[in-house]
């Protein structure tokens, strides 16, 4: 999987914004049917968690999550099938969660364990060819949308983190396709 350039991300997302509703619905129906674990990362607990902080930002998360799905689908093709996808996703999300928690001193953990997780986070993020331009686009959209209503700002950090998790998860899934 190659790293997308800013122009590519913008072009793909622009095409997605113009896609007919029936195509978008078909993509989401296929995602729910063939990749229920990924679907739940979008339409399950993460969006619900954001909604407890700010409903508007939860809706933005859903919209931007579709942009993520669209970009990966358009740039890299169909999602690969994964044996025991639910378990695979749970393991990946647990690991990403631990890595993210290691980045803050607010969560107590042994220094050596924290250091190992931080090193793994850096290695894995760049080793999985994280789509930095896509993340930058998402972060900009979150900031821009939150700027229109001060109440939304309370959910910026959570929304960005969960979008990062989704982008990383999608990258890890597509990495399987290349193996």
Instruction: Note the pLDDT tens digit of each residue in 150-170.
Output: 999 999 999 999 999 999 899
Sole residue written with tokens 């399950």: 44
Longest dimension (CA), the chain: 51
Q: Is the CA virtual torsion 93, 96, 102, 104 positive or negative?
A: negative
- Mean of pLDDT over the chain: 88
Which tens digits make up the pLDDT trace of 56-108?
999 999 999 999 999 999 999 999 988 899 899 998 888 877 776 665 666 67
DSSP string, 90-147: HHHHHHHHHHHHHT-TTS---HHHHHHHHHHHHHHHHHTT--HHHHHHHHHHHHHHHH
Indicate whether 126 pLDDT > 70.
no
122: left (phi over 0), alpha (psi -120 to 50) or beta: alpha
Q: Which residues are CB-contacts of 119 (< 8 A; sequence separation ≥ 6)?
A: none
Which residues are CB-contacts of 98 (< 8 A; sequence separation ≥ 6)?
Answer: 117
Mean pLDDT of all residues in 108-123 = 70
Q: With contact defined as beta carbons under 8 Å apart, do 3 and 131 qualify?
A: yes
Find, among 153, 3, 174, 171, the residue nearest to 96 by Cα: 171
Q: What is the pTM of this model?
A: 0.87
**Range of lowest pLDDT (19-33, 81-95, 135-149):** 81-95
Split at pLDDT 50, 70, 90, the class of 176 is: confident
Residue 28's pLDDT band (cuts 50, 70, 90): very high
User: Measuring CA to CA, how many Å separate 164 from each of 46, 111, 119?
Assistant: 12, 24, 17
CB atoms within 10 A of CB 111: 7
Q: 128 near 168, Cβ under 8 Å?
A: yes
């Amino acid at each position: 999987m190659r790293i997308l350039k800013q122009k590519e991300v913008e072009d793909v997302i622009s095409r997605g914004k113009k896609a007919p509703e029936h195509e978008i619905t078909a993509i989401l129906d296929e995602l729910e049917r063939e990749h229920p674990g990924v679907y739940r990362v979008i339409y399950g607990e993460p969006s619900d968690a954001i909604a407890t902080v700010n409903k508007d930002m939860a809706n933005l998360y859903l919209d931007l999550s579709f942009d993520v799905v669209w970009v990966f689908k358009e740039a890299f093709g169909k999602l690969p099938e994964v044996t025991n996808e639910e378990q695979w996703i749970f393991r990946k999300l647990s690991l990403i969660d631990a890595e993210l928690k290691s980045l803050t001193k607010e969560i107590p953990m042994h220094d050596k364990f924290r250091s190992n997780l931080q090193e793994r986070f850096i290695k894995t993020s760049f080793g999985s060819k994280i789509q930095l331009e896509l993340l930058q686009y998402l972060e900009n959209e979150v900031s821009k949308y939150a700027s229109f209503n001060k109440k939304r700002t309370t959910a910026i950090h959570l929304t960005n983190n969960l979008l990062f998790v989704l982008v990383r998860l999608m990258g890890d899934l597509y990495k399987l396709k290349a193996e």
